[in-house]
Amino acid sequence: MKRFLAIIFLAACLFCIYTWLTLTWNYSAGERAGYVQKFSKKGWICKTWEGELAMINIPGTLTEKFNFTVHDEMVVKKINDSMGKRVALVYKEHVGVPTSCFGDTGHFVSDVIVVE
């Protein structure tokens, strides 16, 4: 019984370390510009802010969509205030996040810049 509990404890510790690593180490960082066309708080148990940025590169071409997640309530307010305006989203990409409780995407937005 002690061996079984030790294995469970070790597995839980390894899972916690892996989760911490995926959330602190970022695979890439950058900016994407466009118009936020969808932004909502969703989820069954873990509610996260999820959005979709429409990136229009050249007039007459199809728009590319960039899905993102926001954790910071100040960034949520900035996005809500800038709806309908062209914005640049500053993000970090985290690969291998184990559950959707941290967000539906691996792209976590940390700032919003309104582009004039």
- Note the pLDDT tens digit of each residue in 28-58: 999 999 999 999 999 888 899 999 999 877 7
Residue 69 is which amino acid? Answer: T
Supply the pLDDT for residue 61. 75
Assign 99 a pLDDT band (cuts: 50, 70, 90): confident
pTM of the model: 0.85
User: What is the residue extent of each domain of the chain?
Assistant: 2-114
Contact call for residues 49 and 70 (beta carbons, < 8 A) = yes
The terminus-to-terminus CA distance of the chain in angstroms comes to: 65
CATH number belonging to domain 2-114 = 2.40.50.140
Supply the pLDDT for residue 74. 96
Supply the pLDDT for residue 41. 94
